[in-house]
Amino acid sequence: MYSEKVMDHFQNPRNVGEIEHASGVGTVGNAKCGDIMRIYLDIDENQVIRDAKFKTFGCGAAIATSSMATELVKGKTVQEALAITNKAVMEALDGLPPVKVHCSLLAEEAIHASLWDYAQKNHITIEGLEEPKKDIHEEEELPE
């Protein structure tokens, strides 16, 4: 039911850990399943993401999507990172079962939350970035 890539990123997650003095840290959760994801970003003066790490208390798919999301944002500008959707994370993992799609939403929102924190700390606005929700559970209930 899981792709090889999902299994690989679950069993050998990339970028696990914390970044001390991170440029941005974002934490989001889903009250329904109880999973929590935190993403740390190290962003240079040109707004390029030098490094990304994560800590996830959650299911296997949440671990795999955090791992892939942090891989995808590395080397990207904040604008490019903002454009990474949960679909892109899922595609990079060769798909997720339908009941696990919400886990990838957690990854998308955790990226947004860390970018939001970065913007707040630096008193800047990232075009197109809205204040992220701490709990994505409501969003999930909306129809596609």
Minimum distance from CB of 103 to ligand FES (Å)?
Answer: 3
What number of chain residues touch ligand FES (CB under 6 A)?
11
Q: How far is the CB of 136 from ligand FES (least distance, A)?
A: 9
Cα separation, 138 vs 140, whole angstroms? 5
| Site track 101-120 with ligand FES (rule: CB under 6 A), x = hit | -xx--x--------------
Q: Residue ranges of the alpha helices (H) in the chain?
A: 4-11, 60-73, 78-82, 86-92, 101-122, 137-140
| Residue count (the chain) | 144
- From 16, 33, 92, 119, the catalytic residue: 33
**What angle is formed at CA 52 by the lines to CA 47 and CA 57, rounded to 5 degrees?**
140
How near is the Cβ of 11 to ligand FES at its closest, in Å? 16
- As annotated, the active-site residues are 33, 103
